[in-house]
A = this chain, B = another copy of it.
Amino acid sequence: MYQYEFPHPAITTDIVLFTIRDKQLKLLLVRRGSEPFKGTWALPGGFMQIDEDLESSARRELAEETGIEGVYLEQLYTFGAVDRDPRERVVTVAYYALAASDQMVLRAATDAEAVDWFDMDTLPELAFDHRQIVAMAHKRLVAKLDYSTIAFQFMPQEFTLSELQDVYEIILREELDRRNFRKWILALEQIEETGREKRQGAHRPAKLYRVIDPGRVEIIK
């Protein structure tokens, strides 16, 4: 047992991981294998260990519960309502993360009895205050699309400009002008031609691009 002079809270990290699949924005959820909220879908996450920093905790929990590693991750917000967990006082540091569509081998383990992608439009009931956390992460993603290169984190290693435009259109829920989009995205000087092309049906082959510095998200305004 561990003893303290004053009551101490627990700290968890939770991860809101988005990807784009089947032309839809998807959220990664795990089905809880233990109480509270056993059997309910929830964000992957769990208790921070006393000797790990916050981001390490988030990455460890994501890897343990879902099998996903090496994604782009940013701290979102810390949620600390007094009654947000029925067990004890738990403050959670939420992260949001973006995965490319080719980064996906799911494997449920530890506290998760299942793991799956959910369409953002048809989310199931979520445990704790996770609905609120997801809403904030979604808002941040939409805002950040406008002033950063965060969308590149959704792209596979090589992609066409049409595929990149699809990602923006899916998240923003609006059609963009093809010519303006191309001009704008190339002017950012964040992607380069690979020298290869992609053939799709009867269309003219499209140039394949790659992100110049894939690990970085640039602020562009």
Residues of A with Cβ closer than 8 Å to B? 1-11, 47-48, 50-54, 75, 77-78, 80-82, 89, 91, 93, 146-147, 221
Contact = CB atoms under 8 A, between A and B. Distances in A.
A221 B144 CA distance: 12
Given A8-B8, A9-B8, A50 B89 contact: yes
B82 A52 contact: yes
A215 B162 CA distance: 43
Contact of A78 (B7, B47, B93): B93
14 contacts: A1-B4, A2-B4, A2-B5, A2-B8, A8-B8, A9-B9, A9-B10, A9-B50, A48-B91, A53-B82, A54-B78, A54-B80, A54-B91, A75-B77
Contacts of A11: 9, 11, 80, 91
Contacts of A52: 82
A2 B6 contact: yes
A78 B91 CA distance: 11
A2 B10 CA distance: 13
B3 A1 contact: yes
Contacts of A5: 1-2
A205 to B, nearest CB: 38
A153 B120 CA distance: 36
A12 to B, nearest CB: 11
A109 to B, nearest CB: 20
B75 A78 contact: yes
